[in-house]
Amino acid sequence: MSDPEAKSNGWSESLRRSSDSILGLIQSRLELFAVELQEEKLRVINLVVWMSIAISLGSAGLSALMAALAFILWHSAGYLGLIALGAVAMGGAAVILCFIRHRLHHGWTPFSTTVAEFRKDRECLSKKT
């Protein structure tokens, strides 16, 4: 009569160990996600700081250059020179915006390590069944 009881304990023990393993796996994946989230946050902050510096310096330099060019063009080409200068500046801005858009769409993939680990876990679990 102790045999059915042993089977019951063995089955519940196996279920408990499986549950413990699954919870451990989930915990490690959530920890990995938290680390990657912190890395992404630092990457975005770093990007914003460098972009702010670049925009500030670029604006100051571009303003000085545009003022000098406007002064030179006013004496040699008049209004037509100023219009051409404005068109070139707008074209340059459009090219830069397209470049930034391309980098945002095709840049790094956030949380790629977490996704890869979940993919590996899924493959391992599908092989066992």
Which of 49-53, 78-82, 100-104, 122-126 is modeled with the greatest confidence?
49-53
Q: Residue 1 gets which letter from DSSP?
A: -
**Tens-digit pLDDT profile for residues 3-24:** 555 566 778 888 888 888 888 8
CA-based end-to-end distance of the chain: 32
Q: Which residue has the higher pLDDT, 12 or 95?
A: 95
Residue 96 belongs to a domain = yes
**Dihedral sign computed on CA atoms, order 90, 92, 96, 101:** positive
Residue 69 belongs to a domain = yes
Question: What's the rounded Cα separation, in Å, for the pair 117 and 112?
Answer: 9
Q: Domain range spanning residue 113?
A: 35-128
**Tens-digit pLDDT profile for residues 38-94:** 998 999 999 999 999 999 998 898 889 888 888 888 888 888 888 888 899 899 889
Q: What is the predicted pLDDT for the residue at 53?
A: 94
For the chain, what is the domain count? 1
Question: What's the rounded Cα separation, in Å, for the pair 70 and 83?
Answer: 10
pTM exceeding 0.75: no
- pLDDT beyond 50 at 1: no
Residue 8 belongs to a domain = no
